[in-house]
Amino acid sequence: MNFSKIKNNFQDLKNEEIDVKQGLLSKEDALNLFSIAHWKDYLKLFSIASEVRDYFKKEIEITSTIHITNICKIRPKCLYCGFAAGTSKEGYYTPFRISDEGIKNSAIAIEESGICRVSCSSGHGYEGREVLRALKIVKENTNLEVLVNAGADLTEESIKEMKKYGIDTICCNLETTNKVLFKKIKPGEELEDRIKVCKLVKKYNIELSSGLLIGVGESYEDRVNHLLYLKELDVDEIPIMGFNPYKGTPMENHPRCSSLEQAKTIAIVRLMFPNIRVTSPTPTIGAELMQFALMGGASNIATVIPDNHPMNIKGVGNPKTGNLKDVIKMIKELGLTPKIKK
């Protein structure tokens, strides 16, 4: 694999000869990078992707989590889901809805740990009211940046309300833009509903996070087409979530996506979107393997739980979440700087 073209494009970007939104790769370049299979090429890819990340991002962000409710009204359930009530005994099998006081206590604990950003997520069936409730409480009691994630459950009215209450980011993961595959693994949802939410988020000039679920049967061309579509949406953050099976779900025997494959995808995303937030949630890559994501150019580590967090948080993708102390240690071991409030 010849990386000189990418390096030349990066130099042109630094010289302001090409626009950052153009990125450093063509569709053909991205497909060629997905086909690499030799350690020398992996090292070159990770090197240039990390260099690009470091040029735009001086610190590695850390995002914690508050799960509001696992009571989800989607029917039939997503085939891989271990989050919703009754789906997996590894996950949140028993239905719950966290109280206002529980949200407040969790948010205060997260802020006291030094983390600056929190994700508030819920199941579907509330037209965004549950994550809006969480947003209000977190903003009233802390200075945390807030991302909410309720997928296609949001309405235009709830998005407008979130704008009013100072929302920082709204996440609506498309997961795959292959319509046949989407319907296969998410039989109770429609891809167009999620796309509609993404467009509404941008309509109201709110930061949009929208990610890929990889290793579920998509092709490399599917991934590249998905990323090109996210360019059209002018996305601000891309989470890369490798499939990690939950026991008891219909996809429990589907192979886990390797950490190397996730890191390769993260690196390609970084080269296509040089200056945006590229996120790796700890449960989808393996909390002990986050350095793969960082070497690939990730700039945000998500689902990070401080010791003082009052909730028993389980991950989406795998029950094991990242401990804040461990994540900070892994970031520093690579000579990077974690974004932590002193």
pLDDT digits (tens, 9 = 90+) for 259-285: 999 999 999 999 999 999 999 999 999
| % the chain with pLDDT above 90 | 96
Residues 5-16 have a mean pLDDT of 97
> How is the chain split among helix, strand and coil, in percent rounded to 5?
45, 15, 40
Mean pLDDT rounded to a whole number for the chain: 97
Q: Quote the pLDDT of residue 317.
A: 81
Q: Quote the pLDDT of residue 1.
A: 76
Q: Which residues of 187-212 are buried (b: 16+ CB within 10 A; e: fewer)?
A: eebebeebbbbbebbeeeebbbbbbb
The pLDDT confidence band at residue 319, using thresholds 50, 70 and 90, is confident
Distance CA 178, CA 162 (A): 30
Q: Name the one residue in this structure whose structure tokens are 């998410």.
A: 186
Predicted TM-score (pTM) above 0.75 = yes
The pLDDT confidence band at residue 138, using thresholds 50, 70 and 90, is very high
Distance CA 139, CA 262 (A): 33
